Amino acid sequence: MQSTLVSKYNVAGPRYTSYPTVPYWKNDNFSLTEWKKGVVKSFSESNTEEGISLYIHLPFCESLCTFCGCNKRITKNHNVETPYLESVLNEWRLYLELFSERPIIKELHLGGGTPTFFSAENLKLLLNGIFRDATIAENPSFSFEGHPNNTSEAHLQTLFDCGFTRVSYGVQDYNPTVQLAIHRLQPFVNVKRVTDKAREIGYTSVGHDLIFGLPFQKIEHVIYSIEKTKELMPDRIAFYSYAHVPWIKGNGQRGFKEADLPSAAEKREMYETGKKMLEEAGYIEIGMDHFALKSDSLYKAVEEKTLHRNFMGYTDSKTQFMLGLGVSAIGDSWYSFGQNVKNVEEYQDLVSQNIIPVYRGHILNEEDLLIRKHILNMMCKLETSWEEESLQFKELPEVLEKLAEMEADGLIEINATKLKITEKGRPYVRNVCMAFDLLLQRNQPETQLFSMTV
Protein backbone atom coordinates (compact mmCIF):
# COMPACT_ATOMS: atom_id res chain seq x y z
CA MET A 1 0.00 0.00 0.00
CA GLN A 2 2.77 2.37 1.03
CA SER A 3 4.70 1.75 -2.20
CA THR A 4 1.51 2.29 -4.29
CA LEU A 5 1.04 5.64 -2.57
CA VAL A 6 4.66 6.55 -3.25
CA SER A 7 4.40 5.81 -6.96
CA LYS A 8 1.02 7.55 -7.20
CA TYR A 9 2.11 10.76 -5.48
CA ASN A 10 5.76 11.00 -6.50
CA VAL A 11 5.45 13.86 -8.98
CA ALA A 12 7.47 16.98 -9.68
CA GLY A 13 6.30 19.65 -7.24
CA PRO A 14 7.32 22.90 -5.52
CA ARG A 15 8.59 23.15 -1.92
CA TYR A 16 6.42 26.24 -1.46
CA THR A 17 8.84 28.65 0.16
CA SER A 18 6.60 31.12 -1.67
CA TYR A 19 3.26 31.26 -3.43
CA PRO A 20 3.21 31.90 -6.35
CA THR A 21 6.32 29.76 -6.80
CA VAL A 22 9.21 31.42 -8.63
CA PRO A 23 8.64 29.84 -12.10
CA TYR A 24 5.06 31.22 -12.00
CA TRP A 25 5.94 34.80 -11.27
CA LYS A 26 4.41 37.19 -13.79
CA ASN A 27 7.47 39.21 -14.58
CA ASP A 28 5.59 41.24 -17.21
CA ASN A 29 3.56 43.08 -14.55
CA PHE A 30 6.65 43.60 -12.45
CA SER A 31 9.10 46.50 -12.48
CA LEU A 32 11.62 48.00 -10.13
CA THR A 33 9.22 50.90 -9.56
CA GLU A 34 6.46 48.49 -8.52
CA TRP A 35 8.86 46.63 -6.24
CA LYS A 36 9.90 49.89 -4.54
CA LYS A 37 6.23 50.84 -4.08
CA GLY A 38 5.53 47.53 -2.35
CA VAL A 39 8.59 47.96 -0.13
CA VAL A 40 7.60 51.48 0.94
CA LYS A 41 4.00 50.44 1.70
CA SER A 42 4.81 47.25 3.54
CA PHE A 43 7.64 48.75 5.55
CA SER A 44 5.54 51.65 6.79
CA GLU A 45 2.64 49.34 7.65
CA SER A 46 4.65 46.83 9.65
CA ASN A 47 8.00 48.13 10.91
CA THR A 48 6.83 49.75 14.16
CA GLU A 49 4.49 46.93 15.07
CA GLU A 50 6.45 43.79 14.26
CA GLY A 51 9.83 44.79 12.83
CA ILE A 52 11.36 43.44 9.63
CA SER A 53 13.25 40.30 8.59
CA LEU A 54 16.55 40.51 6.83
CA TYR A 55 18.15 37.75 4.77
CA ILE A 56 21.74 38.24 3.61
CA HIS A 57 23.10 35.90 0.95
CA LEU A 58 26.83 35.20 1.22
CA PRO A 59 27.57 33.11 -1.86
CA PHE A 60 31.18 31.96 -1.66
CA CYS A 61 32.35 28.41 -0.88
CA GLU A 62 35.89 27.05 -1.06
CA SER A 63 34.86 23.73 -2.52
CA LEU A 64 31.91 22.47 -4.58
CA CYS A 65 29.60 19.87 -3.03
CA THR A 66 28.12 18.04 -6.00
CA PHE A 67 24.62 17.67 -4.51
CA CYS A 68 24.14 21.36 -3.79
CA GLY A 69 21.19 23.26 -5.25
CA CYS A 70 22.01 26.64 -3.67
CA ASN A 71 23.28 29.74 -5.46
CA LYS A 72 27.02 29.75 -4.81
CA ARG A 73 30.37 30.77 -6.26
CA ILE A 74 33.33 28.48 -5.71
CA THR A 75 36.66 30.18 -5.00
CA LYS A 76 39.63 29.94 -2.69
CA ASN A 77 40.43 33.62 -3.20
CA HIS A 78 39.41 35.50 -0.08
CA ASN A 79 40.07 38.89 -1.66
CA VAL A 80 36.47 38.68 -2.87
CA GLU A 81 35.16 39.23 0.67
CA THR A 82 35.60 42.99 1.08
CA PRO A 83 34.18 44.16 -2.27
CA TYR A 84 31.21 41.83 -1.86
CA LEU A 85 30.39 43.06 1.64
CA GLU A 86 30.75 46.66 0.53
CA SER A 87 28.14 45.97 -2.16
CA VAL A 88 25.77 44.44 0.40
CA LEU A 89 26.11 47.51 2.61
CA ASN A 90 25.52 49.78 -0.39
CA GLU A 91 22.42 47.82 -1.28
CA TRP A 92 21.20 48.23 2.31
CA ARG A 93 21.76 52.00 1.98
CA LEU A 94 19.61 52.06 -1.17
CA TYR A 95 16.75 50.55 0.86
CA LEU A 96 17.35 52.87 3.83
CA GLU A 97 16.57 55.76 1.47
CA LEU A 98 13.13 54.24 0.87
CA PHE A 99 12.30 53.65 4.54
CA SER A 100 10.21 56.28 6.32
CA GLU A 101 11.83 55.53 9.70
CA ARG A 102 14.65 53.61 11.33
CA PRO A 103 14.17 49.90 10.61
CA ILE A 104 13.62 47.54 13.53
CA ILE A 105 15.29 44.20 12.85
CA LYS A 106 13.34 41.30 14.29
CA GLU A 107 14.85 38.49 12.29
CA LEU A 108 18.22 38.21 10.60
CA HIS A 109 19.60 35.22 8.73
CA LEU A 110 22.98 34.82 7.05
CA GLY A 111 22.70 32.15 4.38
CA GLY A 112 24.68 30.96 1.44
CA GLY A 113 26.86 29.67 -0.01
CA THR A 114 28.94 29.63 3.12
CA PRO A 115 28.71 32.59 5.48
CA THR A 116 31.71 31.18 7.39
CA PHE A 117 33.81 31.54 4.22
CA PHE A 118 34.07 35.17 5.35
CA SER A 119 36.41 36.01 8.22
CA ALA A 120 34.83 36.75 11.59
CA GLU A 121 36.27 40.24 11.36
CA ASN A 122 34.59 40.88 8.00
CA LEU A 123 31.26 39.55 9.22
CA LYS A 124 31.50 41.93 12.15
CA LEU A 125 32.14 44.85 9.78
CA LEU A 126 29.09 43.81 7.76
CA LEU A 127 26.84 43.57 10.80
CA ASN A 128 28.08 46.81 12.32
CA GLY A 129 27.34 48.49 8.99
CA ILE A 130 23.79 47.10 9.01
CA PHE A 131 23.11 47.87 12.67
CA ARG A 132 24.45 51.43 12.47
CA ASP A 133 21.19 52.58 10.89
CA ALA A 134 18.81 50.12 12.55
CA THR A 135 17.32 49.22 15.91
CA ILE A 136 17.35 45.65 17.10
CA ALA A 137 13.91 44.41 18.17
CA GLU A 138 13.16 42.87 21.54
CA ASN A 139 13.75 39.11 21.48
CA PRO A 140 15.35 39.12 18.06
CA SER A 141 15.90 35.90 16.16
CA PHE A 142 19.34 35.93 14.52
CA SER A 143 20.75 32.83 12.85
CA PHE A 144 23.42 31.74 10.41
CA GLU A 145 24.47 28.76 8.33
CA GLY A 146 27.87 27.46 9.34
CA HIS A 147 30.04 24.96 7.50
CA PRO A 148 31.38 22.45 10.06
CA ASN A 149 34.75 22.35 8.30
CA ASN A 150 35.45 26.07 8.56
CA THR A 151 33.36 27.53 11.39
CA SER A 152 35.84 28.84 13.94
CA GLU A 153 35.50 29.86 17.56
CA ALA A 154 36.03 33.45 16.37
CA HIS A 155 33.01 33.14 14.01
CA LEU A 156 30.82 31.75 16.76
CA GLN A 157 31.91 34.27 19.40
CA THR A 158 31.76 37.29 17.08
CA LEU A 159 28.29 36.45 15.81
CA PHE A 160 27.07 35.64 19.32
CA ASP A 161 28.31 39.07 20.44
CA CYS A 162 26.28 40.55 17.56
CA GLY A 163 23.09 38.90 18.87
CA PHE A 164 23.09 35.54 17.08
CA THR A 165 21.66 32.66 19.11
CA ARG A 166 20.98 30.07 16.40
CA VAL A 167 23.30 28.27 14.03
CA SER A 168 22.64 25.48 11.56
CA TYR A 169 25.38 23.23 10.24
CA GLY A 170 25.37 21.32 6.97
CA VAL A 171 26.01 17.70 7.88
CA GLN A 172 24.17 15.79 5.10
CA ASP A 173 25.57 12.28 5.78
CA TYR A 174 28.40 10.82 7.90
CA ASN A 175 29.38 7.90 5.64
CA PRO A 176 32.61 8.15 3.62
CA THR A 177 30.99 6.48 0.55
CA VAL A 178 28.32 9.16 0.38
CA GLN A 179 30.67 11.97 1.36
CA LEU A 180 33.01 10.99 -1.47
CA ALA A 181 30.12 10.88 -3.93
CA ILE A 182 28.97 14.38 -2.97
CA HIS A 183 32.52 15.73 -2.75
CA ARG A 184 32.21 16.76 0.84
CA LEU A 185 34.61 15.09 3.25
CA GLN A 186 33.55 16.09 6.70
CA PRO A 187 34.45 13.99 9.71
CA PHE A 188 32.18 13.68 12.73
CA VAL A 189 34.80 15.35 14.97
CA ASN A 190 34.38 18.58 13.00
CA VAL A 191 30.63 18.63 13.56
CA LYS A 192 31.13 17.76 17.23
CA ARG A 193 33.71 20.50 17.68
CA VAL A 194 31.47 23.26 16.27
CA THR A 195 28.34 21.94 18.00
CA ASP A 196 30.05 21.81 21.41
CA LYS A 197 31.66 25.20 20.90
CA ALA A 198 28.38 26.87 19.94
CA ARG A 199 26.74 25.51 23.10
CA GLU A 200 29.67 26.52 25.27
CA ILE A 201 29.40 30.09 23.96
CA GLY A 202 25.67 30.24 24.67
CA TYR A 203 23.80 29.50 21.41
CA THR A 204 20.33 28.29 22.37
CA SER A 205 19.63 26.44 19.15
CA VAL A 206 22.10 24.35 17.19
CA GLY A 207 20.68 22.75 14.05
CA HIS A 208 22.02 20.00 11.80
CA ASP A 209 20.98 19.52 8.16
CA LEU A 210 20.72 15.90 7.03
CA ILE A 211 19.72 14.69 3.57
CA PHE A 212 18.21 11.40 2.41
CA GLY A 213 18.20 10.31 -1.22
CA LEU A 214 21.82 11.25 -1.98
CA PRO A 215 23.85 9.38 -4.60
CA PHE A 216 25.02 5.93 -3.43
CA GLN A 217 23.18 6.42 -0.14
CA LYS A 218 21.62 3.28 1.34
CA ILE A 219 19.19 2.93 4.20
CA GLU A 220 22.04 1.82 6.50
CA HIS A 221 23.86 5.10 5.77
CA VAL A 222 20.83 7.07 6.90
CA ILE A 223 20.58 4.95 10.05
CA TYR A 224 24.26 5.49 10.82
CA SER A 225 24.02 9.26 10.21
CA ILE A 226 21.08 9.54 12.58
CA GLU A 227 22.84 7.38 15.20
CA LYS A 228 25.80 9.77 15.06
CA THR A 229 23.48 12.79 15.13
CA LYS A 230 21.88 11.45 18.31
CA GLU A 231 25.29 11.52 19.99
CA LEU A 232 25.18 15.30 19.70
CA MET A 233 21.41 15.84 20.07
CA PRO A 234 21.14 19.08 18.04
CA ASP A 235 18.14 21.20 19.05
CA ARG A 236 16.69 21.00 15.56
CA ILE A 237 17.23 18.85 12.53
CA ALA A 238 16.37 19.55 8.93
CA PHE A 239 15.87 16.15 7.33
CA TYR A 240 15.68 17.08 3.67
CA SER A 241 14.76 14.95 0.74
CA TYR A 242 17.57 15.34 -1.82
CA ALA A 243 16.28 17.72 -4.52
CA HIS A 244 17.65 16.60 -7.86
CA VAL A 245 17.48 19.66 -10.09
CA PRO A 246 20.47 19.32 -12.45
CA TRP A 247 18.82 21.58 -15.06
CA ILE A 248 19.32 24.67 -12.87
CA LYS A 249 22.18 26.58 -14.44
CA GLY A 250 25.50 26.38 -12.61
CA ASN A 251 24.30 24.35 -9.63
CA GLY A 252 27.01 21.73 -10.19
CA GLN A 253 24.97 18.57 -9.51
CA ARG A 254 27.32 16.20 -11.27
CA GLY A 255 29.83 13.39 -10.79
CA PHE A 256 27.10 10.76 -10.46
CA LYS A 257 24.40 9.30 -12.67
CA GLU A 258 20.64 9.18 -12.16
CA ALA A 259 21.08 5.44 -11.69
CA ASP A 260 23.29 6.13 -8.64
CA LEU A 261 20.36 7.76 -6.85
CA PRO A 262 18.06 5.70 -4.62
CA SER A 263 14.58 4.95 -6.02
CA ALA A 264 11.47 6.75 -4.77
CA ALA A 265 10.48 3.69 -2.71
CA GLU A 266 13.95 3.57 -1.12
CA LYS A 267 13.74 7.28 -0.38
CA ARG A 268 10.39 6.85 1.33
CA GLU A 269 11.83 4.04 3.44
CA MET A 270 14.76 6.29 4.39
CA TYR A 271 12.35 9.02 5.46
CA GLU A 272 10.12 6.65 7.45
CA THR A 273 13.09 5.04 9.19
CA GLY A 274 14.74 8.38 9.93
CA LYS A 275 11.50 9.86 11.24
CA LYS A 276 10.96 6.89 13.57
CA MET A 277 14.50 7.11 14.93
CA LEU A 278 14.23 10.84 15.50
CA GLU A 279 10.86 10.54 17.21
CA GLU A 280 12.19 7.80 19.48
CA ALA A 281 15.01 10.16 20.41
CA GLY A 282 12.53 12.86 21.48
CA TYR A 283 12.24 14.97 18.33
CA ILE A 284 8.89 16.27 17.12
CA GLU A 285 8.21 16.58 13.42
CA ILE A 286 7.49 20.17 12.40
CA GLY A 287 5.82 21.19 9.14
CA MET A 288 7.76 19.60 6.30
CA ASP A 289 11.39 18.35 6.52
CA HIS A 290 11.96 19.55 10.09
CA PHE A 291 12.31 18.03 13.55
CA ALA A 292 12.91 19.84 16.84
CA LEU A 293 13.31 19.09 20.53
CA LYS A 294 10.51 20.42 22.71
CA SER A 295 12.91 22.96 24.21
CA ASP A 296 13.63 24.53 20.80
CA SER A 297 11.96 27.76 19.66
CA LEU A 298 10.69 26.05 16.48
CA TYR A 299 8.62 23.65 18.57
CA LYS A 300 7.43 26.53 20.76
CA ALA A 301 6.37 28.37 17.59
CA VAL A 302 4.16 25.41 16.67
CA GLU A 303 2.61 25.43 20.15
CA GLU A 304 2.01 29.17 20.01
CA LYS A 305 0.81 28.95 16.38
CA THR A 306 3.40 31.47 15.19
CA LEU A 307 5.31 29.15 12.84
CA HIS A 308 5.86 30.82 9.48
CA ARG A 309 7.47 29.81 6.19
CA ASN A 310 9.31 32.04 3.75
CA PHE A 311 12.39 31.92 1.54
CA MET A 312 14.52 31.24 4.62
CA GLY A 313 12.47 28.07 5.27
CA TYR A 314 10.57 27.78 8.57
CA THR A 315 10.84 30.70 10.98
CA ASP A 316 9.58 31.20 14.55
CA SER A 317 7.54 34.28 13.84
CA LYS A 318 6.04 36.12 10.93
CA THR A 319 6.99 39.56 9.76
CA GLN A 320 5.05 41.10 6.91
CA PHE A 321 8.20 42.50 5.33
CA MET A 322 11.30 40.49 4.52
CA LEU A 323 14.21 42.05 2.73
CA GLY A 324 16.80 39.97 0.87
CA LEU A 325 20.25 41.46 0.38
CA GLY A 326 23.05 40.02 -1.74
CA VAL A 327 23.33 38.17 -5.02
CA SER A 328 20.22 36.10 -5.93
CA ALA A 329 18.48 37.04 -2.64
CA ILE A 330 14.69 37.18 -2.70
CA GLY A 331 12.64 39.76 -0.82
CA ASP A 332 8.99 39.52 0.15
CA SER A 333 6.97 42.67 0.79
CA TRP A 334 3.82 40.53 1.21
CA TYR A 335 2.30 42.39 -1.74
CA SER A 336 5.16 41.42 -4.03
CA PHE A 337 8.30 39.31 -4.40
CA GLY A 338 11.54 40.56 -5.90
CA GLN A 339 14.74 38.69 -6.68
CA ASN A 340 18.25 40.08 -7.16
CA VAL A 341 20.41 39.21 -10.15
CA LYS A 342 22.22 35.89 -9.78
CA ASN A 343 25.69 36.79 -11.00
CA VAL A 344 28.16 38.25 -8.48
CA GLU A 345 29.80 40.70 -10.91
CA GLU A 346 26.48 41.94 -12.27
CA TYR A 347 25.19 42.36 -8.71
CA GLN A 348 28.21 44.40 -7.64
CA ASP A 349 28.10 46.43 -10.82
CA LEU A 350 24.41 47.42 -10.45
CA VAL A 351 24.82 48.35 -6.78
CA SER A 352 27.89 50.46 -7.58
CA GLN A 353 25.59 52.48 -9.89
CA ASN A 354 23.12 52.92 -7.01
CA ILE A 355 20.58 50.66 -8.69
CA ILE A 356 18.59 48.22 -6.58
CA PRO A 357 19.67 44.96 -8.26
CA VAL A 358 16.22 43.31 -8.40
CA TYR A 359 15.67 41.82 -11.87
CA ARG A 360 12.46 39.83 -11.59
CA GLY A 361 9.49 39.45 -9.31
CA HIS A 362 5.75 39.14 -8.93
CA ILE A 363 2.94 41.40 -7.73
CA LEU A 364 0.40 39.33 -5.81
CA ASN A 365 -3.24 39.77 -6.82
CA GLU A 366 -6.19 38.96 -4.55
CA GLU A 367 -6.38 35.35 -5.63
CA ASP A 368 -2.64 34.87 -5.03
CA LEU A 369 -2.94 36.35 -1.53
CA LEU A 370 -5.78 34.01 -0.63
CA ILE A 371 -4.12 30.88 -1.93
CA ARG A 372 -0.89 31.91 -0.30
CA LYS A 373 -2.68 31.94 3.07
CA HIS A 374 -4.02 28.41 2.55
CA ILE A 375 -0.63 27.11 1.44
CA LEU A 376 1.07 28.71 4.44
CA ASN A 377 -1.54 27.17 6.75
CA MET A 378 -0.97 23.72 5.30
CA MET A 379 2.82 24.02 5.34
CA CYS A 380 2.93 25.37 8.91
CA LYS A 381 -0.14 23.93 10.64
CA LEU A 382 -1.01 20.99 8.38
CA GLU A 383 -4.55 22.28 8.15
CA THR A 384 -6.54 25.11 6.65
CA SER A 385 -10.08 26.42 6.80
CA TRP A 386 -12.37 28.46 4.59
CA GLU A 387 -14.98 29.11 7.25
CA GLU A 388 -14.56 32.85 6.85
CA GLU A 389 -15.78 34.26 3.60
CA SER A 390 -12.53 36.15 3.21
CA LEU A 391 -10.74 32.81 2.73
CA GLN A 392 -12.95 31.61 -0.10
CA PHE A 393 -12.11 31.88 -3.77
CA LYS A 394 -13.98 31.15 -6.97
CA GLU A 395 -12.34 27.81 -7.77
CA LEU A 396 -12.51 26.49 -4.20
CA PRO A 397 -15.26 23.89 -4.94
CA GLU A 398 -13.20 22.42 -7.80
CA VAL A 399 -10.10 22.36 -5.60
CA LEU A 400 -11.99 20.45 -2.93
CA GLU A 401 -13.30 18.01 -5.51
CA LYS A 402 -9.75 17.29 -6.60
CA LEU A 403 -8.88 16.41 -3.05
CA ALA A 404 -11.45 13.61 -2.88
CA GLU A 405 -8.91 11.07 -4.03
CA MET A 406 -6.41 12.11 -1.38
CA GLU A 407 -9.20 11.80 1.17
CA ALA A 408 -9.97 8.29 -0.09
CA ASP A 409 -6.27 7.44 0.25
CA GLY A 410 -6.36 8.62 3.87
CA LEU A 411 -3.96 11.53 3.34
CA ILE A 412 -6.41 14.23 4.42
CA GLU A 413 -9.71 14.72 6.23
CA ILE A 414 -12.12 17.33 4.85
CA ASN A 415 -15.43 18.65 6.08
CA ALA A 416 -17.56 21.55 4.86
CA THR A 417 -15.17 24.22 6.12
CA LYS A 418 -11.87 22.63 6.96
CA LEU A 419 -9.07 20.42 5.68
CA LYS A 420 -6.64 18.55 7.89
CA ILE A 421 -3.59 16.58 6.73
CA THR A 422 -3.47 13.22 8.53
CA GLU A 423 -0.35 11.58 9.99
CA LYS A 424 -0.34 9.28 6.94
CA GLY A 425 -0.62 12.29 4.64
CA ARG A 426 2.25 14.17 6.24
CA PRO A 427 4.90 13.12 3.70
CA TYR A 428 2.56 14.34 0.94
CA VAL A 429 1.98 17.89 2.17
CA ARG A 430 3.51 19.27 -1.05
CA ASN A 431 0.96 17.26 -3.06
CA VAL A 432 -1.93 18.66 -1.00
CA CYS A 433 -0.65 22.20 -1.54
CA MET A 434 -0.45 21.51 -5.28
CA ALA A 435 -4.23 20.97 -5.32
CA PHE A 436 -4.60 24.63 -4.24
CA ASP A 437 -1.95 25.87 -6.67
CA LEU A 438 -4.21 27.27 -9.37
CA LEU A 439 -1.34 28.78 -11.35
CA LEU A 440 0.34 25.38 -11.66
CA GLN A 441 -2.93 23.78 -12.73
CA ARG A 442 -3.74 26.42 -15.32
CA ASN A 443 -0.32 26.14 -16.86
CA GLN A 444 1.26 22.72 -16.46
CA PRO A 445 4.99 22.97 -17.22
CA GLU A 446 6.23 21.35 -20.41
CA THR A 447 9.65 20.62 -18.95
CA GLN A 448 10.46 19.66 -15.37
CA LEU A 449 10.73 22.74 -13.13
CA PHE A 450 10.59 21.23 -9.67
CA SER A 451 12.18 18.34 -7.78
CA MET A 452 10.12 15.19 -7.12
CA THR A 453 7.83 15.26 -4.07
CA VAL A 454 9.19 12.02 -2.59
Ligand X SMILES: C[S@@+](CC[C@H](N)C(=O)[O-])C[C@H]1O[C@@H](n2cnc3c(N)ncnc32)[C@H](O)[C@@H]1O
Contact positions vs ligand X (CB under 6 A)? 61, 67-70, 111-112, 114, 145, 147, 170, 172, 209, 211, 240, 242-243
Three-state SS at 61:
strand
| Shortest distance, position 18 Cβ to ligand SF4, whole Å | 20
User: Is 112 one of the annotated binding-site residues?
Assistant: yes
DSSP line for 91-147? HHHHHHTT-SS--EEEEEEEEES-GGGS-HHHHHHHHHHHHTT-EEEEEEEEEEEE-
Q: Which does 439 bind (CB under 5 to 8 A by kind): ligand X, ligand SF4, none?
A: none
| Shortest distance, position 252 Cβ to ligand X, whole Å | 10
CB proximity list for 394: less than 8 A, separation 6 or greater: 367
Three-state SS at 173:
coil
Q: Does position 454 bind ligand SF4 by CB under 6 A? A: no
- Residue 177, Cα to own-chain centre: how many angstroms? 27
Closer of 69 and 140 to ligand X (Cβ): 69
| Shortest distance, position 88 Cβ to ligand X, whole Å | 17
Among 68, 130, 322, 351, binds ligand SF4 (CB under 6 A): 68
| Shortest distance, position 239 Cβ to ligand X, whole Å | 9
| Shortest distance, position 329 Cβ to ligand SF4, whole Å | 14
How far apart CA 314 and CA 301 sit, in angstroms, is 10
- Please tell me what DSSP assigns to residue 263: P
Q: Does position 308 bind ligand SF4 by CB under 6 A? A: no
Q: Does position 147 bind ligand SF4 by CB under 6 A? A: yes
Closer of 137 and 210 to ligand X (Cβ): 210
Closer of 72 and 228 to ligand SF4 (Cβ): 72
Strand 308-310 and strand 313-315: the pairing is antiparallel
Helix then strand then coil, % of the chain, to nearest 5: 45, 20, 35
Helix (H) or strand (E) holding 238: strand 236-241
- Please tell me what DSSP assigns to residue 295: T
How far apart CA 132 and CA 109 sit, in angstroms, is 17
Q: Which does 64 bind (CB under 5 to 8 A by kind): ligand X, ligand SF4, none?
A: ligand SF4
User: Is 69 one of the annotated binding-site residues?
Assistant: yes
CB 127 within 8 A of CB 71: no
For the four alpha carbons of 191, 196, 202 and 205, in that order, the dihedral sign comes to: positive
Closer of 20 and 111 to ligand X (Cβ): 111
Closer of 84 and 386 to ligand SF4 (Cβ): 84
How far apart CA 286 and CA 299 sit, in angstroms, is 7
Among 15, 72, 318, 374, binds ligand SF4 (CB under 6 A): 72
CB 352 within 8 A of CB 374: no
Closer of 30 and 347 to ligand SF4 (Cβ): 347
Q: Which does 211 bind (CB under 5 to 8 A by kind): ligand X, ligand SF4, none?
A: ligand X
User: Is 240 one of the annotated binding-site residues?
Assistant: no
Interaction residues for ligand SF4, span 209-248 (CB under 6 A): none
Instruction: Please report, in angstroms and rounded to a whole number, the separation of the first and last CA atoms in the chain.
Output: 15
Three-state SS at 431:
helix
User: Is 326 one of the annotated binding-site residues?
Assistant: no
Q: Does position 113 bind ligand SF4 by CB under 6 A? A: yes
Q: Which does 325 bind (CB under 5 to 8 A by kind): ligand SF4, ligand X, none?
A: none
Q: Does position 38 bind ligand SF4 by CB under 6 A? A: no
The distance between the two most distant Cα atoms of the chain, rounded to a whole number of Å, is: 61
* Residue of closest CB approach to ligand X: 170
* Residue 223: C-alpha distances to residues 110, 220, 273, 278, 394 (Å): 30, 5, 8, 10, 47
| Shortest distance, position 391 Cβ to ligand SF4, whole Å | 38
User: Is 338 one of the annotated binding-site residues?
Assistant: no
Residue list for the binding site for [4Fe-4S] cluster: 61, 65, 68
Contacts with ligand SF4 by CB under 6 A lie at: 61, 64-65, 68, 70, 72, 112-114, 147, 170
Where is the binding site, in residues?
A: 55, 61, 65, 67-69, 112-114, 145, 172, 184, 209, 243, 330
What residue numbers does the annotated binding site for S-adenosyl-L-methionine cover?
A: 55, 67-69, 112-114, 145, 172, 184, 209, 243, 330
